[in-house]
Structure 1
Amino acid sequence: MKKIFLAIVIIFLMGFSQVFAVSTHISYTKNFKSVNKTAKIVVIDVNNQNIRPNIGRAYDKIAAAQSLKDMANKKKTDNNKVIGAINGTYFSAYDGTNLPYGTIIENGKVVHIGNYGSVIGFTSDNKIIIDNLNIKIDGYINDKKSYYAWGINHPREEKDAIVIYTEEYKDAISSIGGKAVIVENGTVKYIAENKDNLWVSQNGFIIVFNQDVSYLVSRFKVGDKVSYDFKFESKNIDQNIESNINWKDVKLALGAGPSLIINGNITADGALEGFWESKINTNRAQRSFIGYTFDNKLVMGTVSNANLKEMAQICKELNLKGAMCMDGGASSGLYYEGKYITSPGRNINNAIIFTEEIIK
């Protein structure tokens, strides 16, 4: 009887191990005695090409806020299922504008630039990179470099600011006090001065020159061919080494920070990455993190009442090659298999969402 029972147990365990072995994702809770913290963790094997990372933007806008659950479920289709999601970058949650602060790259297109903290990026075949990233914008008129811009889809009040707005920015744009160049299908359609209620057309963009730099608009004429491109500067990962992930190949990215681990080494220095608030750099708070292993598995999770150094230690013990903080506090949220593992305390601006194709 004991032998029969033992045989049944072995068969069960073999079946369980086989199921676990082929699973593309798991969720678990782990206590880290070194820092006396418990983390809620999701691991997703993005080496499986049926799994895709997605950027969730609240109501598909730049400046809005929505629940993490609703953003995630919007990515569900007849051909895929939502595995999980984690809250994204910092945003202006208290002034009503709901503008993001971090870098956002979606479908290979830069739709917002942060130039602080750290950024996680994914290539078309799901290879992952985390580093401090700076993005510069060069503008061209009739194929000649002729202007520059401070950023993308983020209104600036500085009198010398130049901002490009793309079709992803689905709100009214103002050039009050300055001038705007309205571009459609790659050519200048018209130039507006001191105008409000401007809107980006499909396949178009608008360049707003604030007061002190509005004289630069004299370089543009109706009918000119206008474009812009980006230069990516990675601080720690040499872009000239062929085996390294190159930012120009990244199709999806989200920036927050501070970084916790880069290239296997603990970083966790908020001041060095442009953060000045103690609630980010030193205080304990609810935290979210995302990272990847040396064999390119995605790891994301949340930890209660932790500081930056404790988060870095947790990620080190998880043997992560790269890791970074996402927005924390009330924004911190983790969603898995249709349920909250950690419930955010407010609506958020953006998220990273993982879907898996349904094999029929």
Structure 2
Amino acid sequence: MRKIWLLGLTLVSLGIVLWLSMRSFPPSIPTVVTVAASPPKPMRYEQRTLSQGIANILFIPANNQFFVTPALSQKVDTVEEFAQKHRAIAIFNAGFFDPANQKSTSYVVIQGQLVADPKENDRLVNNPNLKPYLNQIFNRTEFRRYQCGQTVRYDIALHNDSPPAACQLVDAIGAGPKLLPELTLVKEGFVDNANKRDALGSNQPNARTAIGITRDGNIVLVMVAQKPSLGANSGISLPVLADLMKTLGVEKAMNLDGGSSSSLYYKGKTFYGKVDLNGNPIKRRVKSVLLVQ
């Protein structure tokens, strides 16, 4: 009996030691932290009143919820007509074209296919006054969309620039001149002050359209309309437009076709940039646009 009593006492002592050991060193329990996914940022439109114009600004977040792609008309269409065809959220006029023959004077690439080639525009190629500028006309700045693996990237580059490594050019549309990081008025706008040449009226206020990319990859589209109260001498110059884009956080930007081509469709409403002598908006058909879908 004494041996049994001593054995029981020993087992009780061991149990107490084990219990105290577990109290001192509790088992590690993994902690599960649930992080709520951030909702995608929405597209944002705002209108700003400038000293000589009205800026219509569309901010498109870089979350792949929206895509910015070019579209080309067989002839020419208003942005409203483009909207009916493509059912886009927003549409901005884009590349240069010749109203006389309704052919593009800008390169347009859609889904990897070249759909507009300025070298095929006879009125452009055979114009003796433009012959000294053709090499640069065929290498103007363009807005691009790349597919880099599973990632979509946008860029602003010269036509002859190669895509980044591991990236494929999906879409592109040309215009110019570049606004940021530098303003290429002489190189791409062919401004020649000595001979009083400035085909785009770069330093004069006018209706203008531009596109830019921020450091974070957001897209900013801007259409500056003339003020009806100020008439045809209002709007914005290209140097001031470059400054405006910079204030919007844009690092790379380019000018699109302007003047009476400047137009914007957004959620069922259309804005035209150019006004006539009575301050009424001028509706002009264009060859190419940028769609926001």
Distance in 2, matches of 1:54 and 1:73, equals: 16
SS of the counterpart of 1:40? strand
Tell me the TM-score normalised to structure 1 length: 0.54
Name which of 161, 169, 173 aligns with 1:254: 173
Distance in 2, matches of 1:278 and 1:102, equals: 16
Quick check: 2:189–2:200 contact (8 Å CA) kept in 1? no
Name which of 26, 45, 61 aligns with 2:44: 26
Report the CA distance between 1:38 and its aligned residue: 4.0
Distance in 1, matches of 2:47 and 2:176, equals: 23
Larger Rg: 2
What does the per-residue CA deviation read over 1:109-152, in whole Å, with 9 as the maximum and x for residues that have no partner? 12234524310001234311002222xxxxxxxxxxxxxxxxxx
Quick check: 1:30–1:39 contact (8 Å CA) kept in 2? yes
Report the CA distance between 1:268 and its aligned residue: 1.8
1:272 maps to 187
Quick check: 1:279–1:285 contact (8 Å CA) kept in 2? no
Quick check: 2:189–2:202 contact (8 Å CA) kept in 1? no
Distance in 2, matches of 1:280 and 1:123, equals: 32
Name which of 270, 282, 296 aligns with 2:203: 282
SS of the counterpart of 2:244? helix
Structure 1, unaligned runs of 5 or more:
1-20, 77-81, 135-232, 356-360
1:346 maps to 284
1:127 paired to 2:153: yes
Distance in 2, matches of 1:292 and 1:72, equals: 24
Quick check: 2:104–2:117 contact (8 Å CA) kept in 1? no
2:67 maps to 52
Quick check: 2:52–2:236 contact (8 Å CA) kept in 1? no
Report the CA distance between 1:314 and its aligned residue: 0.4
What does the per-residue CA deviation read over 1:37-76, in whole Å, with 9 as the maximum and x for residues that have no partner? 542101112422x422332211xx2xx1111111123113
Distance in 1, matches of 2:205 and 2:248, equals: 20
1:101 maps to 105
Distance in 1, matches of 2:53 and 2:78, equals: 26
Which structure's residues are more often helix, by fraction? 2
Name which of 222, 232, 237 aligns with 1:307: 237
SS of the counterpart of 1:30? strand
Work out the number of aligned pairs and report it: 211
What is the root-mean-square deviation of aligned Cα atoms in Å?
A: 2.5
2:76 maps to 65
SS of the counterpart of 2:68? strand
Tell me the TM-score normalised to structure 2 length: 0.65
Structure 2, unaligned runs of 5 or more:
1-38, 119-137, 192-197, 226-234, 274-281
Distance in 1, matches of 2:283 and 2:98, equals: 15
SS of the counterpart of 1:102? coil
Which structure's residues are more often strand, by fraction? 1
2:19 maps to none
Quick check: 1:56–1:72 contact (8 Å CA) kept in 2? no
SS of the counterpart of 1:285? coil
Q: Give the % identical residues.
A: 23
Distance in 2, matches of 1:341 and 1:259, equals: 24
1:85 maps to 91
